[in-house]
Amino acid sequence: MYEVAYERPRTLNDAVRLIRQTGGRPLAGGQSLVAAMKLRLADHGTLVDLGAVDELRGIRLEDGHLVIGAMMRHAEVAESSVVQRAIPALARLAEGIGDRQVRNMGTVGGSLANSDPAACYPAAVLAIGASIQTTERVIPADAFFLGMYETALQEGELITALRFPVPLAAAYIKFEQPASQFALVGVCVARTSGVVRVAVTGGRYCAYRCTELEQALQHTFTPQAARGIHLPADDLFSDLHATAEYRAHLIPVICARAVAAALAG
């Protein structure tokens, strides 16, 4: 690991100031960043640890939305009675991320800001139609994910909270790569009054909405409707774990399971 300076501010204003003054990198859960630094794949002169900033924590219901602070850890989301009542699919998603250490260290905001192409949270944010609150603005989920490890966040802009509208029904199912427990393909479906949204992770270079599945489920919200969709492999990627063709076959299958789970509650 390269030598770095370490800062641990206690307020959001101080965190933003330090990041802007030093050009430092914010440290949330550190599950991806620290690993990259250990391998010398990343070199940051200053790390600004957000772990002591209480303004970035908390889970509450507010005006029909579930609000989750950016520094809430996966385990806290999974165990929250507020999340379990409002959007149980989100609690189950958090419970299935990585292993115990990852869930106890990784954060919601860190996961979104990292935009790993196989991460779970981005699919839920897109499918449920959440908005990302930052130190500068509110970004709709549809405008947030731009590419592999690329988001709409600007230099020095920090995620402060996520706002999820409470859906009528939702579910997230992933077909995981057994070693990493990342999604080989993950699908989140959410149903609100008159609208069905479907988001996929693990298929492209960032999470995305699948319009073909949305249109089919908008007409008939059943597992059979999802299974009946044949997706092209042209815009999906292949890697050492699966070909694009396999992912194209898998996405409707996993979506059908997610629909069944959403209907079962």
pTM (2 d.p.): 0.93
Q: Answer yes or no: are the C-beta atoms of 144 and 109 closer than 8 Å.
A: no
pLDDT higher than 80, residue 36: no
Confidence at residue 194, expressed as pLDDT on a 0 to 100 scale:
84
Mean pLDDT of 192-196: 89
- pLDDT band for position 30 (cuts 50, 70, 90): confident
Q: Point out which residues pair with 66 in neighbouring strands.
A: 61, 164
- Comparing 226 with 5, the larger pLDDT belongs to 226
140 phi and psi, to 5 degrees? -65, 145
Domain with residues 169-264, CATH architecture: 2-Layer Sandwich (3.30)
User: Which range scores top for mean pLDDT: 177-181, 193-197, 216-220?
Assistant: 216-220
Confidence at residue 25, expressed as pLDDT on a 0 to 100 scale:
87
Q: Answer yes or no: are the C-beta atoms of 186 and 199 closer than 8 Å.
A: no
Q: Assign domain 1-55 to a CATH class.
A: alpha beta
- pLDDT band for position 178 (cuts 50, 70, 90): confident
Any idea where the domains of the chain sit in the sequence?
1-55, 169-264
Residue in this structure with the two tokens 């509650």, named with its chain if needed: 265
pLDDT higher than 70, residue 201: yes
- Comparing 137 with 25, the larger pLDDT belongs to 137
